[in-house]
Structure 1
Amino acid sequence: MAGRRGARSGRGWDAIPPRAGTDQPDGGTPGEPARGESRRGAPAQPAQTESERAREICLRQLATRPRTRAELAKALARKEISEEVISEVLDRYDEVGIIDDAAFARAWVSSRHHGRGLARRALANELRQRGVDAEVASEALESVDDESEAETARALVDRKLRTATGTPEAIFRRLVGMLARKGYPAGIAIRAVKDALAARDEEAAEFADDVDADALADQADPLA
């Protein structure tokens, strides 16, 4: 019995390895990570600086679509980034061309005019809502002239007219209203619908003949 006890004692209880997760060479509490390490054993990551966080927010915003400086500034402010850091980060983005309000405005006008058929009035409103400077917006809107607006308005009407139902008068009012919501002045909207109805069928043509586009345009307030 003594020999067995001696053998058992000879191995020593301290020779039994500790269970996984309890070995703390630095004297830490069992189950807790060692100092300077994460719970998975990787070195702890240093905290982000405010500038790093601001850049990360901007890149996430820009990943979905181009943004104006004002849009990015609002996004950063919502995340409680200081004004100083906002200016610092966005000034740098301006310098390297990551944000460019003039290029944004030109691309926005081209896309929304040709893709959605928006007129200058609606486009100007959208650019203003996105914080584009009035002078910058005005330069971008120069690419859409009266002729382009008239052609686009007529194309919109022709497309809608293919499936339009109802009396010529009801169709007229509905299509003029559609163009108004897209920012077209009363004169352009009324003339586009009048001309399209005149080319549709005999009943619509008779109605169109009775429409005095100039008089209606003069009487109407801005429809948009």
Structure 2
Amino acid sequence: MSQGVPDFLPEDAHVSPATWGDLREEGRADARTPTTRSDRRGDAPSRGTRGRDPARPRRRGRAEDPPTEGAAAVDAEPDHEDVARQIVLRQLAMAPRSRAQLETKLRQRDCPEDVITRVLDRMTEVGLVDDEAYAAMLVRSQQVTKGLAKRALAHELRKKGIDKDLADAALDEVDPDQERRTARELVDKKLRSMGGLTVEVQTRRLAGMLARKGYGAGTAYSVIRDAIADAPEHLRD
């Protein structure tokens, strides 16, 4: 290299001697300046964009596959009759139901009327829906658990949508003697909590209780009179 020419210039470089000093100082300064990591790698693409056209939008996730035959089947309209059958079976699994109650439930679930008719007709054929058996069961259970008389039982059957002929047949099975015994049991139980009241007050409250359970006035006052007469607090010494 030519004498006096800085070692970072080629030998044939034509540089005036006046500028050599400045060039030497600039070269030394550059050598002393530390290079950063980004300086060393320059404008290399980042890890996430290496080898990718920056103008091309990033692909997010897999492209949706075209619908298959199975997927189309999933989106198909449900079988209304199967849906109605499942609703009926769930209702019957919880408690006995009349046909009218099941019809109401299916309408609430927006089942078509023709579907309701077909499904319940089929359920009736196989014995899962039986209003006659339901009416008889309801009469027996309400007599035992609530002590209801025929008038109140008839009201319960109407509420459940039982046909009048079927309701009458179920009510014909009510034994008048058993009905009177049930009324007496109700009165005796109530009297035990009415000690100290006058006969008039006891009679009025007991009559109201029996009336709410469907007993006629004749039966009610006859039973009440006998029960009060037999009560220990009213027995004469």
Please list, as runs of the form range in 1=range in 2, the aligned pairs for 1:56-205 lying within 5 A after superposition: 56-165=86-195, 166-202=197-233, 204=234
How far apart in 1 are the matches of 2:107 and 2:176?
A: 39
**What is the SS of the residue equivalent to 1:190?**
helix
2:218 aligned partner, one-letter code? G
1:187 aligned partner, one-letter code? G
CA RMSD of aligned residues (A): 3.0
The 8 Å contact of residues 36 and 44 in structure 1, kept in 2 or not, is answered as no
Structure 1 residues 114 and 25: alpha-carbon distance in aligned structure 2, compared to 1, 3 A threshold: closer
**What is the SS of the residue equivalent to 1:184?**
coil
How far apart in 2 are the matches of 1:126 and 1:36?
A: 54
Structure 1 residues 49 and 182: alpha-carbon distance in aligned structure 2, compared to 1, 3 A threshold: same
How far apart in 2 are the matches of 1:95 and 1:23?
A: 53
The equivalent position to 1:35 in structure 2, one of 52, 67, 91, is: 67
Structure 1 residues 205 and 170: alpha-carbon distance in aligned structure 2, compared to 1, 3 A threshold: farther
CA deviation after TM superposition for structure 1 residue 144, in Å: 1.1
Which is further off, 48-57 or 192-201? 48-57
How far apart in 2 are the matches of 1:101 and 1:158?
A: 35
TM-score normalised according to structure 1 size: 0.72
Query: Rg: which structure is higher?
Result: 2
Please list, as runs of the form range in 1=range in 2, the aligned pairs for 1:14-33 lying within 5 A after superposition: 22-24=61-63, 26=65
2:149 aligned partner, one-letter code? A
**What is the SS of the residue equivalent to 2:61?**
coil
Structure 1 residues 112 and 24: alpha-carbon distance in aligned structure 2, compared to 1, 3 A threshold: same
CA deviation after TM superposition for structure 1 residue 94, in Å: 0.3
What percent of counterpart residues are identical? 45
CA deviation after TM superposition for structure 1 residue 201, in Å: 3.1
Q: Where does structure 2 lack aligned partners over 5 or more consecutive residues?
A: 1-43, 45-50, 53-58
How far apart in 2 are the matches of 1:118 and 1:64?
A: 24
CA deviation after TM superposition for structure 1 residue 199, in Å: 0.6
CA deviation after TM superposition for structure 1 residue 22, in Å: 2.4
CA deviation after TM superposition for structure 1 residue 181, in Å: 0.4
The 8 Å contact of residues 105 and 136 in structure 1, kept in 2 or not, is answered as yes
